Amino acid sequence: MHEAALSLGIPQWKVTLQVLYRSALPGILTGVLLALVRISGETTPLLFTALNNQYWTNSLNTPMASVPVVIFQYAMSPYDSWHSLAWAGAFVVTLFVLLLSILSRAILSRKGASS
């Protein structure tokens, strides 16, 4: 399709935007979704590298706050109310991944139906 569009005299930037990206969109979106799911599921590296800071920081050389670390800390606490918050945090992360997946599939199905 790339060579056919170029042979028709369409500029390279237009071929890239209208032909290549459109045909590669499902693969790009699947890769982004898999990356987000992988990031949300990779809690072990965060537990060892985030150093358990409770506050937001802009520096990469200081401990950072993250949702999986807070969920882990609350789940390991002796308080029942913190256990409920840990379950709620895990639910929010799972719901975020689910909604992102549904939204992306809806966008892809709409793009596929229009072309």
Q: Report whether pLDDT(81) > 90.
A: yes
Mean pLDDT of 105-111: 75
Q: Quick one: which H or E segment has residue 86? A: helix 80-114
Both tokens of residue 78?
């002796």
Q: Provide the pLDDT confidence category of residue 113 given band limits of 50, 70 and 90.
A: low
**Who contacts 57 (Cβ-Cβ below 8 Å, separation ≥6)?**
63, 64, 65
On whether the pTM is more than 0.85, the answer is: no
Q: Report whether pLDDT(15) > 70.
A: yes
